[in-house]
Amino acid sequence: MFNYYVTCLQKYVDFSGRATRSEYWYFALVNFLIALILELLGLDLISGLYGLFVLIPGWAVFCRRMHDTNRSGWNWLWLFLPLIGFIIVLVYLVSPTKAGENKYVKAAK
């Protein structure tokens, strides 16, 4: 589980390529747990700094997840529509991987 988290942090500016469902959701789970622990401990400043620290890696893994489902990374803009956008993005995130080449990722040679 933590190897997915570390992988996402190492690829923090890599907006190309793919991220599997496991990689995305384990990254989200570990982020949630860390943020929850920091909030429960009352470490608001550290919690805010942690949120800033994982903002770009989270966005990058989101874009790679979208590429894995043959969708554009710009689908995060759906989140500006209050409830509908969240549902659309959630459906995209749980979609299965589109195997092989797609318009965002070329197959490995």
State the amino acid at position 22 in one-letter form: S
pLDDT of residue 29: 96
Over the stretch 73-106, which tens digit does the pLDDT of each residue have?
999 999 999 999 999 999 999 999 888 888 887 7
pTM: 0.88
Which has the closest alpha carbon to 95: 10, 31, 21? 21
**With contact defined as beta carbons under 8 Å apart, do 5 and 50 qualify?**
no
